[in-house]
Amino acid sequence: MAMKPYPPEFKADAVALYLSDPGRTYASVARDLGVNAETLRLWVREAQSAGAAADKASPVSKPATGSQGSEVGLDQENKQLRARIRELELERDILRRAAKYFAGETNW
């Protein structure tokens, strides 16, 4: 039996959906998306290892030395992190709505 090819966007969305809710299991997310639980587990592992490799490749910038320089650096970093949090929350909400929509379409 041939493996079904999934687009990279679908894989990334599936991984993000699984990681967005720590209470969910591979099986429940996979069932909602219509994929095998082991396939989803493999995608999550690959994404986590790719994320760890990316973290090692791009070291975090250190704030400037001195009290005023470090405050400016921390404020800038906090602003960037808050923007990233808003972006991730939006992506999570979109994925949750998509999962609910597709779960409602299936009549197995």
**Is the CB of residue 77 less than 8 Å from the CB of residue 7?**
no
Return d(Cα 51, Cα 92) in angstroms, integer.
18
* Model pLDDT, residue 88: 92
Angle in degrees, CA 84, 85, 90, rounded to 5: 100
Tell me, what's the pLDDT at 77?
92
Return the pLDDT at 20. Answer: 87
Full pLDDT tens readout for the chain, 108 residues: 567 788 888 899 899 889 888 888 999 999 988 899 999 999 999 998 887 777 666 555 554 455 677 888 899 999 999 999 999 999 898 888 888 888 876 665
Q: H or E stretch including 34?
A: none
Instruction: Look at residue 2 in the predicted model and tell me its pLDDT.
Output: 63
Q: What would the CATH number be for the domain defined by 8-55+67-105? A: 1.10.10
Domain extents in the chain: 8-55+67-105
Q: What integer pLDDT is reported at residue 6 of this predicted model?
A: 87
